[in-house]
Structure 1
């Protein structure tokens, strides 16, 4: 590509497309002599004649036509891309990064209603476990799952998590039939480990003051959505977020493993962005919408769990986790 005179190629494409040097010069905003000079340079570079000069009009040679077919497609694509970028820039746009399971199971079912209320906004959702590097990425905000406390950013906890062991009704019946007591049932359960969850089995067991003779994980997933689906299908016992599977609990597809043990509530879901991004109306409006939806969902979750006989215990998740050995 360094051997190709791109300026001369652009001038050539304009002349070939418009048919005259004069029209090409007008489009390019240069003099006709400048266009003619670039055409001569390009012909010298390729070592062939690109035009036949017939009276007051130019016609392409065979070599010129071959070059034109390629260059006009390339420049047309560039012009289209430039126009699309310009149109997109004029739209009110929002780009959100969200953790995958939260994106699939919480944001995904709701974002359509938000888009319907704002039909002239272009919305992009990027579901990835990686936090945004706002200084280098064109991301407006993150919906993060984590401990909070990200320095230099505006951070607002939009929802506390509600974590408890969950399984299918048939799996719970099977465990109850084979063993007595919570510890006995836990010892015989196939534990499903959500490896990126803040509260994993070792932390939860310590919080509940339960000791198992051996802690093993027949199933390990890096997505809560996969752990929840495995538990729902009777594959084992998942320690995960009730708020990510509230509809499954409400339908009875998942049930609390031990309602007598408290559900752990702790701050887990955060709206995060550079402070200056909140100056954009679209970002501020989205932050308000997320907070409203999350508050309503969390309250609904508490009602569903309390109706199932569970009690909820609030804990400062970061403090508990930090106190445990690595």
Structure 2
């Protein structure tokens, strides 16, 4: 084997299989002259002719055919093994698509635990607001933000949004110096708008029968993470979900604006995939882990808010929210 020219043997196998030097050169990604040179080297090594030319094709000689029968089986076995290894490597990839703020603020701090429990898997998280086209994209499942109305897919609720006005303790002190009345405080507040949130200020104000002379947003962000950061820095009053900022509430960097208003409670985060994807063990394993982590988070969030004195108003979704009398 040490005397064998494997490169020339590989070139020979391709030429014999395809019938022309030109086609072999294309498959091998080299020039036709390079292919011809390797064939000459192999013929010199064996001391026999391996091809004879008939019109525009190369035809194997008896010796060439004997060599081809052996080499094509060997190289076919190598190609099959290579493809099997590639497929095996591909099946060890788990691809998740998630909304950016949820990915950064909720999934990001937790997914290391799942990765540590499944070290043989490569995990890719694609943070984008765009939903997956499962028929054309290699995505195992989405963690979608929305109302759950996606037909033809497996759709399971992961987490509820627990929405309420939030601000820093210092900014709350500023508002309380303006007035003791929460509605007057809101009228004086700098409202931070999360433009892609399901539940925004106009809906929240209407549902609580609060009318402002003019609804203005000094700050508007297309990511909840940016709205939360602005509120944490004392920039204003953010209407956002505890799902996104539980650590800030736990540390006291954010506080509920007023317990006079119910926490709006509705399903908003969903595990979504084609039913067949759940046949992959790693997908069902992630779904089980996700359900467990979400339950732990939800229990902590509700306990913390209850400790602040908050009450909850369950809803099916923002489009079904009823306007209720505001109360002090």
Distance 2:169 2:301 in 1: 19
- Which residue pairs with 2:11 in the alignment? 24
CA-CA distance at 1:209 after TM superposition: 1.6
Partner SS state of residue 125, structure 1: strand
Q: Is the 8 A contact 1:147 1:267 kept in 2?
A: yes
Note if 1:153 corresponds to 2:153: yes
1:254: Cα distance to partner? 0.3
**Cα drift, residue 276 of structure 1:** 1.2
Q: Deviations over 1:45-97 (max 9, x none)?
A: x999995979947xxxxxxxxxxxxxxxxxxxxxxx98984452253x21111
Q: CA deviation at 1:320?
A: 2.4
Q: What is the match of residue 249 of structure 1?
A: 249
The whole-number CA distance in structure 1 between the counterparts of 2:84 and 2:204 is 54
What is the match of residue 105 of structure 1? 105
The aligned residue for residue 68 of structure 2 is none
- Give, in whole Å, the separation in 1 of the partners of 2:141 and 2:25: 52
1:160–1:268 CA contact under 8 A, matched in 2: yes
CA contact (8 A) 2:175 2:189 kept: yes
Please say if residues 157 and 267 of structure 1, whose CA atoms lie closer than 8 Å, have aligned partners that are also in contact. Answer: yes
Identify unmatched segments of 5+ residues in structure 2.
46-81, 324-328
Aligned to 2:143: 143
| Aligned-partner Cα distance in 2 for 1:33–1:261 | 76
Matches within 5 A, 1:169-188: 169-188=169-188
Residues 105-146 of structure 1: per-residue CA shift (max 9 Å, x gap): 000011000111111112111110001111111111111110
Shift of 1:32: 9.9
Secondary structure at 1:173's aligned position in 2? helix
Could you tell me which residue of structure 2 aligns to residue 197 of structure 1?
197
Measure, in 2, the Cα distance between the counterparts of 1:90 and 1:310: 46
Q: Scaled by the length of structure 1, what TM-score is found?
A: 0.76
Aligned pair in 2 of structure 1 residues 56, 47: CA closer, same or farther (>3 Å)? closer
1:128 counterpart residue number: 128
Q: CA deviation at 1:318?
A: 4.2
Contact kept, 8 Å, 2:207 with 2:322, in 1: the verdict is: no
The aligned counterpart of 2:297 is 297
Give me the whole-angstrom Cα distance separating, in 2, the residues matched to 1:37 and 1:146: 56
Distance 1:310-1:83 versus aligned 2 partners, 3 A rule? same
Cα RMSD of the aligned pairs, angstroms, is 3.2
Gaps of 5+ in 1: 1-16, 58-80
> How has the CA–CA distance of structure 1 residues 120 and 322 changed in structure 2, closer, same or farther, with 3 Å as cutoff?
farther
